[in-house]
Amino acid sequence: MVTRYFVIATLLIFTVFAGCTTKTDTFSKPTVVVSILPLKYFVEKIADSTLQVKVLVPPGSSPEMYEPTPNQLVEFSKSDIYFSIGLLDFEKGLEPKLKDGYKTKYINLSNGANLIEGSCTHGDDHEGHNHNHGIDPHIWASTVEGKHIAKVMLDNLIELYPEHKEHYTANYSKFIAEINSLDAEIRSILTSSGVKAFLIYHPALGYFARDYEITQMSIEEEGKSPSAKGMLNVINKSKKFGIKAILSQSQFDTHNSQAIAMEIGGVVVKVDPLAENWAQSMVQIANAIAGK
């Protein structure tokens, strides 16, 4: 009888400690910080469940209007690495902090990317962008630059966690194959539609437009609502290109988009280039441009 109780007690103690170990393992995973949700998708494609990924800009928020909270900065200071687009305004304020006692490694994903200057065409035919003196920061909205982002992440994650080199490299190879398939799917959607141009409120798809050789027109003028003249020019150009779908992001007001849609007999279609499921978002954008 004593032996039986001893065995039961031992099993209970083992179960308690096993449960504690599992919980500790979960919370002891290395932490990686990324600026925006699509970058979380990239990290998890390569590292899957080996890392915790924290995102600075919350869902539904605009990176253009975002400022890190004190709690986020505390979390930030505990992370091993920060994957930054490197071109968003709020990121510029974070970089000096990383040089001031933070252990976090700062990675600028735009380094080595094929960047676009003045990517958007406005209604009045002038070019420009209000990010970093005309540099378009939206590098994640591209299958071409997506592969660049994935490679930079792979190299840095292997450097930090060499014990996962084989695992991460295998995942990366699978991810690149997925991106290639995604690119082919988007190309097929757009080619079959015959679309040559699209209209969007905030010009977040300059790299997407470059990849597929179509023209991006924006309603927004230098980060501001368009003038009456700008609205008229957008309407005229939309009619010229036969545009019927106006792409609009949830982070921005749709008043001007709706007004233009009424004038051209079109519809406003919601897209989200900042969605966490990057691949799904890219296909939805292609379908919206193609009018599907």
The pair phi, psi for residue 289, each rounded to 5°, is -65, -40
Q: What angle do CA 286, 274, 75 make, to 5 degrees?
A: 160
Q: Which of 2-6, 153-157, 219-223 has the highest mean pLDDT?
A: 153-157
pLDDT tens for 224-248 read 888 889 899 999 999 999 998 899 9
Three-point CA angle 75, 151, 249, nearest 5°: 65
Number of neighbours of residue 117 by Cβ within 10 angstroms: 13
Percent helix, strand and coil across the chain, each rounded to 5?
55, 15, 35
Q: Mind listing the domains of the chain with CATH numbers?
A: 25-117+139-179 (3.40.50.1980), 194-290 (3.40.50.1980)
User: DSSP labels for 20-31?
Assistant: HHHHHHHHTS-E
110-125: per-residue pLDDT in tens?
A: 999 999 986 444 444 4
Cα–Cα distance for residue pair 81/101, rounded to 1 Å: 14
Higher pLDDT, 20 or 148: 148
Mean pLDDT of 50-69: 91
Which residues pair with residue 106 across a beta bridge?
Answer: 82
Return the higher-pLDDT residue of 158 and 225: 158
* Mean pLDDT along residues 168-192: 99
Out of 33-42, 125-134, 193-202, 254-263, which region has the weakest mean confidence (pLDDT)?
125-134
pLDDT above 90: percentage of residues in the chain? 62
**pLDDT of residue 23 exceeding 70:** no
The mean of the pLDDT values for the chain is 85
Q: Output 70 or 102, whichever has higher pLDDT.
A: 70
Predicted local confidence at residue 6, as pLDDT: 41
How far apart (Å, rounded) are the C-alpha atoms in residues 154 and 46?
7
pLDDT surpassing 90 at residue 215: yes
What pLDDT shows up at residue 253?
A: 76
Closest CA to 210 of 243, 177, 181, 183: 183
